């Protein structure tokens, strides 16, 4: 790794609750700017990390001159336009489909050494692959050489969570070629065993996380109507000895993706907020690094908003592993 890796700077666009930031700082990179427009995500972010360098305005209202120079541009740009859980409108999405255009403008103005992006895996196949082709072409036209890989988070957290990671180097095809091999190595996680859901479950969760009777009956009826189909409807009670399903931003609605069996006659429950936080890899060891002795706080906004934030987050330690490889080439 480059000896002065601690001096590599990064910006964190569409920062959410800081998964990218934590990962990059674990790789000894320095945060110089972050941005998100979501009111509640900003509340959580600033409570966790403070307000220095964070801008809560719309990315379109921030002039290019206000964004500091940086070595690495990070961005978990909104996935809903490309996700199975959304309408898959892609670049045509009226509220979020054009946000990659803003990334493109920032890259053109600031010329970072690396562009490091994350999104749902269906970004690769969206619109018959044309969406990914457009992204690749736009960055290539700006002089960037890139690679990508779909990685399942199950070796870092007890969750099947497939995301595509894109890494583009400025005028450095050799680095991109090496990075492809690194991403494959990270993806395969040689010798690692997948995490188990039981590792993050609490022994005596609050009864408030138990599903209301009406919600539980509605989920069972939904399952009966959709036998043999795929999607985000209730499928089965989570197996504690395996990885869970993907935690999505809609989890607060009914907890259908990850239902936790309870003892005796009690109805299944949702994950607690602390369990959801741990499921995304925001563990207590990381919280300690930011001065949170009892874990990252989960009482900043409503339960629904916290579930949404966790469902939209990126797993920090995957970012860290990729960033450590990136640092070797810049």
Strands 144-152 and 114-120: unpaired
Clarify whether residues 109 and 225 are in a common domain. Answer: no
Q: How many residues does the chain have?
A: 330
- DSSP assignment of 131-188: HHHHHHHHHHHTTEEEEEEEEEGGGTSSB--EEEEEEEEET-HHHHHHHHHHHHHHHH
Q: Is the pLDDT of residue 234 over 80?
A: no
Core vs surface per residue 182-218: b (16+ CB within 10 A) or e: bbeebeebeeeebbbbeebbeeebeeebbbeeebbee
Clarify whether residues 263 and 251 are in a common domain. Answer: yes
Mean pLDDT of 12-41: 97
- DSSP assignment of 92-146: G-TTTTTHHHHHHHHHHHH--SEEEEEEEGGGTTGGGGHHHHHHHHHHHHTTEEE
Q: Which two tokens stand for residue 261?
A: 């069996």
Average pLDDT along the chain: 90
Q: Which two tokens stand for residue 171?
A: 């005028």
Residue 106 in contact with residue 73, Cβ under 8 Å? Answer: yes
Core vs surface per residue 6-36: b (16+ CB within 10 A) or e: eebbbbbbbbbbbbbbbbbbbbbbbbbbbbb
Neighbours of 313 (CB within 10 A): 25
- Catalytic positions: 79
Q: What pLDDT, on the 0 to 100 scale, is given for residue 226?
A: 72
Report the alpha-carbon distance of residue 105 to residue 112 in Å, rounded. 12
Q: Is the pLDDT of residue 174 over 70?
A: yes
Q: Which CA distances in Å does 263 have to 158, 216, 267? A: 22, 16, 9
Q: What pLDDT, on the 0 to 100 scale, is given for residue 140?
A: 97
Q: Which two tokens stand for residue 33?
A: 């700017």
Report the alpha-carbon distance of residue 330 to residue 328 in Å, rounded. 6
Residue 33 in contact with residue 323, Cβ under 8 Å? Answer: no
Q: What pLDDT, on the 0 to 100 scale, is given for residue 253?
A: 87
Clarify whether residues 121 and 70 are in a common domain. Answer: yes
Clarify whether residues 137 and 148 are in a common domain. Answer: yes
- The CATH code of the domain that includes 292 is 3.90.120.10
Q: What pLDDT, on the 0 to 100 scale, is given for residue 158?
A: 97
In a 10 Å sphere around its CB, with 0-12 CB exposed, 13-18 middle and 19+ buried, how is residue 312 labelled?
buried
Q: Is the pLDDT of residue 99 over 60?
A: yes
- The CATH code of the domain that includes 51 is 3.40.50.150
Q: Is the pLDDT of residue 28 over 80?
A: yes
Q: Is the pLDDT of residue 319 over 70?
A: yes
> If pLDDT is split at 50, 70 and 90, which confidence band does 78 have?
confident
Clarify whether residues 160 and 236 are in a common domain. Answer: no
For residue 311, what are the contacts with CB-CB under 8 A and spacing of at least 6?
A: 247, 248, 249, 250, 251
Clarify whether residues 213 and 280 are in a common domain. Answer: yes
Clarify whether residues 31 and 164 are in a common domain. Answer: yes
Clarify whether residues 47 and 132 are in a common domain. Answer: yes
Q: Is the pLDDT of residue 2 over 60?
A: no
> If pLDDT is split at 50, 70 and 90, which confidence band does 20 have?
very high
Q: What pLDDT, on the 0 to 100 scale, is given for residue 86?
A: 47
254-309 tens-digit pLDDT:
888 999 999 888 999 999 999 999 999 999 999 999 999 999 999 999 999 999 99
170 has which bridge partners? 144
Q: What pLDDT, on the 0 to 100 scale, is given for residue 221?
A: 87
Range of the domain at 176: 5-194+314-329
Clarify whether residues 155 and 269 are in a common domain. Answer: no
Counting the structural domains of the chain, the total is: 2
Q: Which two tokens stand for residue 257?
A: 């993706």
Clarify whether residues 159 and 101 are in a common domain. Answer: yes
Q: What pLDDT, on the 0 to 100 scale, is given for residue 83?
A: 44
Clarify whether residues 293 and 150 are in a common domain. Answer: no
Mean pLDDT of 227-247: 78
Clarify whether residues 155 and 43 are in a common domain. Answer: yes
184-228 tens-digit pLDDT:
999 998 778 899 999 999 999 999 999 999 999 988 888 777 776
């Amino acid at each position: 790794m480059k000896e002065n890796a601690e001096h590599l700077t990064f910006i964190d666009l569409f920062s959410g609750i800081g998964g990218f930031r934590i990962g990059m700082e674990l790789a000894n990179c320095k945060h110089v700017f972050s941005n998100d427009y979501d009111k509640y995500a900003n509340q959580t972010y600033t409570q966790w990390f403070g307000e220095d360098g964070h801008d809560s305005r719309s990315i379109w209202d921030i002039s290019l001159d206000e964004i500091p120079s940086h070595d690495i541009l990070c961005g978990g740009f909104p996935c809903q336009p490309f996700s199975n859980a959304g309408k898959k409108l892609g670049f045509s999405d009226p509220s979020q489909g054009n946000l990659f255009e803003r990334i493109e403008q920032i890259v053109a103005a600031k010329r970072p050494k690396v562009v490091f992006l994350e999104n749902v895996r269906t970004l690769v196949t969206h619109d018959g692959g044309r969406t990914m082709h457009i992204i690749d072409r736009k960055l290539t036209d700006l002089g960037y050489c890139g690679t990508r890989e779909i990685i399942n988070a199950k070796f870092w957290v007890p969750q099947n969570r497939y995301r595509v990671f894109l890494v583009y180097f400025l005028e450095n095809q050799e680095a991109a070629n090496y990075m492809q091999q690194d991403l494959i190595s990270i993806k395969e996680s040689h010798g690692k065993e997948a995490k188990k859901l039981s590792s993050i479950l609490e022994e005596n969760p609050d009864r408030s996380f138990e599903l209301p009777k009406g919600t539980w009956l509605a989920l069972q009826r939904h399952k009966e109507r959709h036998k043999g189909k795929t999607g985000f409807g209730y499928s089965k009670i989570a197996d504690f000895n395996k990885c869970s399903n993907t935690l999505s931003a809609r989890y607060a609605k009914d907890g259908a993706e990850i239902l936790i069996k309870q003892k005796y006659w009690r109805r299944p429950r949702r994950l607690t907020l602390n369990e959801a936080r741990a499921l995304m890899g925001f563990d207590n060891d990381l919280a300690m690094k930011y001065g949170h002795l009892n874990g990252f706080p989960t009482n900043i906004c409503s339960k629904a908003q916290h579930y949404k934030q966790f469902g939209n987050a990126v797993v920090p330690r995957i970012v860290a592993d990729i960033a450590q490889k990136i640092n070797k080439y810049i």
